[in-house]
Structure 1
Amino acid sequence: MIKNTSKRLLLALSIFAVISVSGQTEMPEKRVTDLTKLDISNGVSLHIISPEPIQFVDLSTSNLTGDLPAENIARIKITDVTEMDSTSIRKDIDENNLGVITIVCQSFMAQYKVNYLDFKGNAVTNIQIQPEDMQPLEYPKMAFSNSELHRFSLDILRKKKLNKPIREVKGLKLTMQINDVYVVNDYIFLDMTFLNSSNLGYDIDAIKFSVEDKKIYKATNNQSIALDPVFKLYDQKQFKKSYRNIYVFKKFTYPNSKVMKIRLLEEQLSGRAIEMTVKYSDILNADTF
């Protein structure tokens, strides 16, 4: 049943967030009298068809019930009532007030006032949500503080590594691994491990991230764009056998003609270096947590 209280509460919180955060949205104020009116009769289901998947539906009164027979269709009807319930329902019917239907989709919200129609022959059986009934939902992008990024990073470290690394390269008795990639809002978290199988400790000069051309025909044609993490969990400069860290980036994209490069560089004089190539598909397949 669509009418349960938890969905109403979720809707209320969502609307509050959209309206209140930093004044960034432009949702116009609407009153019940401004809403498009739909006529519905006993025994006739109303099907509301959306151009995109429906996230959830709220029915403002117990006079209406419904379900989602398909991801973009909400089916609404007048509640079947017992004799004990019929008095209050009848009062609403007499006042031509069955309630308000609110439909929340991925990018918009639509609302309708439902009127009771005694003559079934004129009842509406299906409608498509029209552009004039759509109120855009512009959920603001949240910026996390360093303390929040730190907490997310620690949560990743606590996860057990059950699978093989997404990417791994070896050379000079060094191993570089991407354990996993996570996404939270507009942030990308790279969980990385560096291993040293030699007896010589590794002094980190830099760990560099960049986006570069996949194929380089001439050295002068290579275009390298540096990617700077907005946060890293640890700022370690040396490790003996293993080193794990979380690097956080603001959301980025790159075409198939380019790849992400990660380079681990050692301080001179030893100067051991190892490089990894990351495909865009590795980023697209990121988990959420």
Structure 2
Amino acid sequence: MKTLLYSILLFTATLFTAQTATPEQIISDLPELEITEGINLHMISPEPIQYVDLSTDRLTGDLPASNIARIKITDNATSDKDKKKQSISFFSGNPVGIITVVGQSFIAQYKAIYRSPNNLNTITNIHIQPEAMQPIEFDKMTFSNRELRQFALDIIQNKADKKPVRTENNLNLRMQLNNVYVMADYIFLDMTFKNTSNLSYDLEALKFSIEDKKIHKATNNQSIEMTPVFQLNPQKHFRQNLRNIYVFKKFTYPNSKVMMIRLIEEQLSGRTIEMKINYSDILKADTF
């Protein structure tokens, strides 16, 4: 568990930094990014982007993916007509505007500098580096996707060699809940799926829900679907084994209900396996 302890210390240090970060950012100190017309600049964030601000109408952009901002010079922004309306002409080395990217736990700002199309060294994509990030103060009980991923990686690096909390077997499939972990307001389910048949398994869905433990004929079953806020591995196909970590915000349910997990195969005659988890299993969760 040394790696888990290291992650906690790292998160604590990050939180402390977030609360004591320098509140000012001076334009002259901002890192510079080269940009030119006809070439998109892709800014890759280590966590989902929440917000992007472009300080002038000389720049435009969008979010083609949750962690990628695509920025470019506005079409026709460098025409002679437009240049007459602008206080700063588009000459190589001149600033075009300020690009601000806000993630789940940081804000990063860059000064966009115009480069002539003849410059073959113009940057086309960058990864936002830690030195460009200013931490944002956030709720102590809220983790970014990057932090959840690190916690999940720390869990999966430990071999699932202890007795599983729960196991289910059906149609040459085995579903097991290796362990349950709790970190602040988050619950981590460490799960393994095993296929002992010669047919590989194409996963259509893994569904989580809270359902009545006993279903009476005269009543309808009340089912509440639950969606993980994060999962480590998006893999949909496995031949023998698949181990994954599913993360939920803290939840509770009475003893009259169970958490139901259903593994469903893609094909019409697909193999399905179900597992019921009692609330007592959640209450016995390990802490980091």
| Alignment-derived partner of residue 153 in structure 1 | 152
Distance 1:205 1:219 in 2: 32
SS across alignment from 1:221 = coil
Which amino acid is 1:229 matched to?
Answer: P
Q: How does 1:72-83 map to 2 (within 5 A)?
A: none
Q: Deviations over 1:174-230 (max 9, x none)?
A: 000000000000000000000000000000000000000011003751000001000
Matches of 1:168 and 1:244, distance apart in 2? 14
> 2:285, 2:238 → 1: CA distance?
28
TM-score, normalising length: structure 1: 0.52
CA distance in 1 between counterparts of 2:201 and 2:269 reads 9
1:269 aligns with 2:268: yes
Partner of 2:206: 207
Alignment of 1:1-289 (within 5 A): 141-218=140-217, 220-289=219-288
Question: How far did residue 145 of structure 1 move?
Answer: 0.5
Runs of 5+ consecutive residues of structure 2 not aligned to the other structure: 1-11, 21-138
Letter in 1 for 2:274: E
Question: Residue 282 of structure 2: SS of its match in structure 1?
Answer: helix
Deviations 1:36-93 (A, max 9, x none): xxxxxxxxxxxxxxxxxxxxxxxxxxxxxxxxxxxxxxxxxxxxxxxxxxxxxxxxxx
Structure 1 residues 285 and 226, CA gap change in structure 2 (3 angstroms): same
What per-residue deviation string (whole Å, max 9, x for no partner) do you get for residues 83-122 of structure 1?
Answer: xxxxxxxxxxxxxxxxxxxxxxxxxxxxxxxxxxxxxxxx
Q: Which amino acid aligns with 1:249?
A: F
Query: 1:278 & 1:230 partners in 2: Cα distance?
Result: 19
Cα separation, 1, equivalents of 2:200 and 2:140: 42
Q: Which has the larger radius of gyration?
A: 1
Q: Distance in 1 between matches of 2:148 and 2:258?
A: 25
For 1:267, give the aligned amino acid.
E
Percent identity for Structure 1 against Structure 2: 65
> If the length of structure 2 is used for normalisation, what is the TM-score?
0.52
What is the number of residues matched between the two proteins? 159
* 1:141–1:186 Cα contact (<8 Å) kept: no
Q: Structure 2 CA distance, aligned partners of 1:269 and 1:240?
A: 19
Q: Distance in 1 between matches of 2:205 and 2:222?
A: 20
Runs (4+) of structure 1 exceeding 4 A deviation are none
Structure 1: gaps of 5 or more residues: 1-12, 22-139
Matched letter for residue 256 of structure 2: S
